[in-house]
Chains A and B, each alone.
Chain A
Amino acid sequence: MAGMVILWTDFLVFVLVVVTTAFAIYASKKEHLRAPWGRVIRSRTGMGTLVVLCFYLAIGLLDSIHFHPQLPAEEQGGEGKYSTEIISLFDQMVDGLRTRQEKTYSAPLAVYLYAKETIELADGTTVRDFPRLVHGGAHLTDPQQEWLPDVIQRTMLGSLKGIVVSLVLANILFMLISMRSARHFGQVAKEIIAGKTEIPWRVMLMTLTVVLVLLFSAMELARVYHLFGTDKVGEDVFYQALKSIRTGLLIGTLTTLVMLPAAVLLGIMAGYFRGWVDDVIQYLYTTLNSIPGVLLIAAAILMLQIYMSNHAEEFNSIVERADLRLLFLCIILGVTSWTGLCRLLRGEAMKLREIDYVQAATAFGVGHFQIIMRHILPNVLHIVLITVVLDFSGLVLAEAVLSYVNIGVDPTMNSWGNMINSARLEMAREPIVWWSLAAAMVFMFTLVLSANLFSDVVRDAFDPRLRHNR
């Protein structure tokens, strides 16, 4: 694509994908790393939540490929063939959601606006009533009669589609497994349906079915209605909630990614070298840690705003500005949260350096760098992993709080925090506008709950101390 735009966070997302893939390949070759993953795969909770997380991830990734859309043919004149706005692949896929805007609030699946307006009738008189929506349910001629059957019909259709697709997927899975294990198709299917397989395929399939049914129903309904209603300026709330997924995921993952090199390096160095190196690093993280996080973030965000207004010419679009602010937020959140991991690693490295083979390596005159890379780093990786997974949900929740204090992501960016923030005012309305808050809460809750459950599984699998206790 010629109009491709790579934002800073997009770049880091790609880096993250590459790193994760590389780590997966590396881990699959090392027994001590593969074994815990095996345990994760065999856990029912683990696999069930993984399916949900994968959906979030897919949307987040699709939303990370940005480009300038091509203008329709008739508007193409001369050089500028691309529009100046930046949209993502995901935006293009759900183009209808993005462009179908109403005037102001409308309730979920509504056909009428949420506020009365003066409507001019055909005979020139005016009445004060709820006007029809421009897009929501526009295909209905008599909403009073047709609305409920239409909604039910579309939900059923969506569910049916979802079930069919998941059946197809299930059969493909059965086939693949039976081919690999060279057993009969029916036998494999029976085992999986009975839930007797080592890997909990049944749970995965069930979760998948639920997710697909929801997804297809939502797609069917969102095509002609506003599934979660519209906000004050008539933007589709469902779309906002979906767009917020990327923000949430980025905050949860990039924060850890940007802090990781420093935390790992400094932590291991402090534990391995001891002495003055240890003192300096300890001093560094105690100092940083002692500053209340919110205040540090507030100061840093204010600084960024000033930088941006002084260098306004570098940020030509709102998307880029918002993106940089997000990145900066990740970095500063990273600065406030790397100390915990650093301290853990320091303790672990201190233990490891006393172990025989490390001592032996030292005696043989192996370089420090090599020892760290060969012996220490691989043995602390599980701690890093557990921390990353455990921190994730906390960071997603933190974003909402920071946005409330106005030091979170850019106000023009879609995020659950911003949605909740604007919902504060909506809660005071009468009749109450609850759907922005509800949509943000549902999406956020699902992600955080899955992440929490998944991280529990990962921790149990990797932390030997707890494993023996079970």
Chain B
Amino acid sequence: MMAYIIRRILYAIPILVGVNVLTFLLFFVINSPDDMARMHLGMKRVTPEAVENWKRERGYDQPLLVNQSASGTGKLTETIFFQKSLKLFQFDFGTSDSGRDIGYDISQRMWPSLAIAIPVLLIGLLVNITYALLIAFFRATYIDFWSVVLCVVMMSISGLFYIIGGQYLVSKLLHLVPISGYDTGISAIKFLVLPVIIGVIGGIGSGTRWYRTLFLEEINKDYVRTARAKGLSETVVLFRHVLKNAMIPILTGVVVVLPLLFMGSLITESFFGIPGLGSYTIDAISSQDFAIVRAMVFLGSALYILGLILTDISYTLVDPRVRLS
């Protein structure tokens, strides 16, 4: 087991290197440090000297890949690639182009993101599974038919509509929750209620449909027929057999997204003014703070790979038949 995990982690390294090279190419080839400097120095009265100074301070005055003027290993280490990209591997994100410690910001903004993502995931899971079980129970009746229709309809509505509509109705017309914003501690709840509800509603369509398929697949298996033939009531069959066996794909599906919860939701967070990592990313994109975008790309990739590893492990835990090799 241990050896397997270590091997998986070692396997992750070349992937992260690949990600790193790719982002490096994208970010430094398109946006020369000169551009960054000019943008960050502001609008009024920017002199070429100020630009040079800015670059020197942030270490952007070095060559991209090979430093001819340095000696020895300095040829490779005193470059933007080495300084700005490889340090990410130690999870040293450096400072943003506006001069703020990215690592600290991420550690601060992670929590609001999680405060939305985790309730959405858990409540969503609960609602979707309950609903899907109900549909499975009433399969091949008109309830089944209309529920599926409802799911498809809900899936076909753009998520933006749920957010715009929900915010308009609940906050503006009904005065039930603050329109946007965030607070620390327990007072955060009043800001979180609406985004969480909207997140759950937005996910019902696709989630329920997917679980319904899983349940129906199980229901048609032989062992369920056997159980039913034994005279077990439908409810018992559903809960004891179908749900239990369908939990394997459900759980592994959840595990794979778990690490990505940290990244937050881009649209929801910026709509509700929640200072999480999602709005952090959006702000970085719109202000073209590439140091942050680079860090978020790296973080996202690392979390994704973590998710893959966790999935593999969880497979072995819930299903002893799967052997890790």
Contacts and interface: CB of A to CB of B under 8 A. Distances in A.
Partners in one complex: yes
B300 A290 contact: yes
B158 interface: yes
A406 B304 contact: no
> Which bracket fits the contact residues of A?
35 or more
Interface string A273-314: 000000000010011011110111011101100100000000
Contacts of A289: 304
Contact of A441 (B23, B161, B217, B293): B161
Contact of A306 (B30, B153, B286): B30
Closest 9 CB pairs of A and B: A292-B300, A287-B18, A290-B301, A449-B156, A448-B156, A303-B30, A290-B304, A299-B26, A298-B285
Do most interface residues of chain A lie in helix, strand or loop, or is the interface mixed?
helix
Contact of B153 (A296, A300, A427, A449): A449
B223 interface: no
B267 interface: yes
Given A400-B158, A401-B160, A452-B152, A283 B15 contact: yes
B237 interface: no
Contacts of B304: 289-290, 292
B282 to A, nearest CB: 6
Contact of A420 (B26, B158, B216, B281): B158
Given A299-B23, A444-B158, A452-B155, A401 B285 contact: no
B26 to A, nearest CB: 4
B293 A299 contact: yes
Contacts of B27: 299
Given A295-B285, A405-B286, A469-B220, 11 more contacts: A292-B300, A296-B26, A299-B26, A299-B293, A302-B30, A302-B31, A393-B155, A407-B285, A441-B158, A448-B155, A466-B213
Interface in B88-138: none
A294 B260 CA distance: 13
Contacts of A469: 216-217, 220
A427 B18 contact: no
A62 interface: no
6 contacts: A286-B308, A287-B15, A294-B281, A298-B293, A299-B26, A449-B156
B30 A291 contact: no
B42 interface: no
B305 interface: yes
Interface of B: 14-15, 18-19, 22-23, 26-27, 29-31, 152-153, 155-161, 164, 168, 213, 216-217, 220, 263, 266-267, 281-282, 285-286, 288, 293, 296-297, 300-301, 304-305, 308
B155 to A, nearest CB: 6
A400 B305 contact: no
Contacts of B14: 283
Contacts of B155: 393, 448, 452
Contact of A290 (B267, B286, B305): B305
A424 B177 CA distance: 19
A453 interface: yes
Contacts of A397: 158-159
B160 A303 contact: no
A404 interface: yes
A291 B22 contact: yes
Nearest to A448: B156
A445 interface: yes
A290 B293 contact: no
Contact of B282 (A405, A424, A448, A453): A405
A416 B160 CA distance: 11
B297 A292 contact: yes
A294 B18 contact: no
A188 interface: no
Contacts of A405: 266-267, 282, 285-286
A276 B7 CA distance: 18
B288 A401 contact: no
Contacts of A302: 30-31, 288
A292 B261 CA distance: 12
A287 B281 CA distance: 20
A306 B266 CA distance: 24
Nearest to A453: B152
Contacts of A437: 161, 164
Contact of A456 (B152, B160, B217, B288): B152
A424 B160 CA distance: 10
A83 B262 CA distance: 53
Nearest to A289: B304
A298 B292 CA distance: 13
B6 to A, nearest CB: 18
Contact of B296 (A283, A290, A295, A406): A295
Contacts of B156: 393, 445, 448-449, 452
A448 B27 CA distance: 35
Contacts of A441: 157-158, 161
A444 B153 CA distance: 12
B31 A306 contact: yes
B325 to A, nearest CB: 15
A298 B220 CA distance: 45
A45 B220 CA distance: 24
B19 A287 contact: yes
Contacts of A393: 155-156
Given A441-B158, A448-B156, A295 B293 contact: yes
B15 A290 contact: yes
A424 B156 CA distance: 20
